[in-house]
Amino acid sequence: MNVRFLLDENLNPNLKAAVLRWDPTIDITRVGDPGVPELSTLDPAILLYLETSQRALVTGNRKSMPLHIADHLIAGRHHWGVFLVRKGTPIGRLAEELYLIWVTSAAEEWLDQERRIPL
């Protein structure tokens, strides 16, 4: 199964379109889009959504998200990957990185993994 992405609301709203320019078949959505968590959804609820939807999170929240991830895993829960975006990463570079993750890996490889990107 290919990686399915959920973009956090704290990222540039143009990132989704930039990723889809690499390949329009990439399954990518953004917090606040129809059918996904609403804007301002708290991190623990986002992690629960990731678990049930089998989506990997892409976020710039490098401060509190790692703490919530640790609590989530300690509680015996799982997630399908969390990609913490390095500060100052240009949108084009980030879009390319997500495309490369999508074409070179399977979703199962990211189960309970947390990585800073670009890699």
Instruction: Quote the pLDDT of residue 103.
Output: 96
Mean pLDDT of 83-110: 96
State residue 33's pLDDT score: 97
**For the chain, how many structural domains are there in total?**
1
Please give the residue range of the domain that contains residue 93.
5-117
CATH number at residue 44: 3.40.50
DSSP string, the chain: ----EEE-TTS-TTHHHHHHHH-TT--EEETTSTTSPPTT--HHHHHHHHHHHT-EEEES--SSHHHHHHHHHHTT---S-EEEEPTT--HHHHHHHHHHHHHH--GGGGTT-EEEE--
pLDDT at 6 exceeding the cut of 80: yes
Interval 12-61: pLDDT, tens? 999 999 999 999 999 999 999 999 999 999 999 999 999 999 999 999 99
pLDDT of residue 119: 76
